[in-house]
Structure 1
Amino acid sequence: MYIRFHGNYSSPKTEEPYGIFVVIYHLQRDGKLSESDNRTYFETKEWFEQHLPNPPYYEDNSAIKAVIWFKDNPKTRVMINKLEPLITIAAKYETELTRTVAVDPPGIVVYEDDYQIAVIKS
């Protein structure tokens, strides 16, 4: 099973809804977060940067139009719990987040590690 947390507006690059990290980044970028929420956003983001592998195509600015989904396993359940501060921020600022679940990969898998897959439309 695969899990994705996303907003209700889409990326022009992927034509898929933006993921939770970008949705909260948009609030931060637009100056909507309180000082405390801003700090929480950066602390949570830093934790994920230290613990979640970064797909290689992120680093080479590839034109690939992939979307990331968490795998449902014991390792990722810890990570999904670590998303709670971002989910709380979204609710506080009345920003819609959706938790979508897929039994099978929701596209063609172009990257995979222990925690996540990246898929493109099939």
Structure 2
Amino acid sequence: MYIRFALGRLDPWSGAPMGFFRVAYLLQGDERVPDWLREVLREETDWFDRHLGLPARCWRGDRARLGETGICWFRPEARKHIAHAHVLKALIEEAGVAVGRLQTRDPGDVVWHDRHQIVAKPVHTTRVAW
């Protein structure tokens, strides 16, 4: 199963639940979040910056069209990355933002991949479980 961590709100570009990395970075600059929590959020995102490559391709076709943005998923064999993602999920939730863990066997049309993740364009048959 491919794994993704996301918020309940929809990303305006993809129409899919917004990924949790974006909020993790935003919380680091939010002065309402306690200093100790911002620091551990930074440590976890720094780990991902060092150990998870940026996708070279996150969309198919004309990027400006809504619904054309690819969705990032962890590959099932990326166990260490998924373990760190669970830590990041807990930290984000400590800051008061709910994060869900999604999984699917068929994420859609894969437009990019590396050893730890894929980027897929969902299709109408993509089924995701929270």
TM-score, length-scaled by structure 2? 0.78
CA apart distance, 1:77:
0.8
Q: Which runs of 5+ in 2 are unaligned?
A: 124-130
Deviations 1:13-36 (A, max 9, x none): 111111111132333344332111
- % identical equivalent positions: 29
CA deviation map 1:55-111 (0-9, x unaligned):
1136xxx836111000111xx11111112332222222331111111122x211100
Specify which structure has the higher proportion of helix: 1
Matched with 2:87 is: 85
For 1:1-122, list aligned pairs within 5 A. Answer: 1-57=1-57, 63=63, 65-73=69-77, 76-104=78-106, 106-122=107-123
Q: Structure 1: where are the runs of 5+ without partners?
A: none
Structure number with greater CO (CA < 8 Å, separation at least 6) is 1
Report the aligned-residue RMSD. Answer: 1.9
Q: Distance in 1 between matches of 2:2 and 2:86?
A: 18
Q: How many residues align?
A: 116
Distance 1:103 1:84 in 2: 20
Q: When the two structures are superposed, what TM-score results if normalisation uses the length of structure 1?
A: 0.83
Instruction: Give the Cα–Cα distance (whole angstroms) in 2 for the partners of residues 109 and 57 of structure 1.
Output: 10
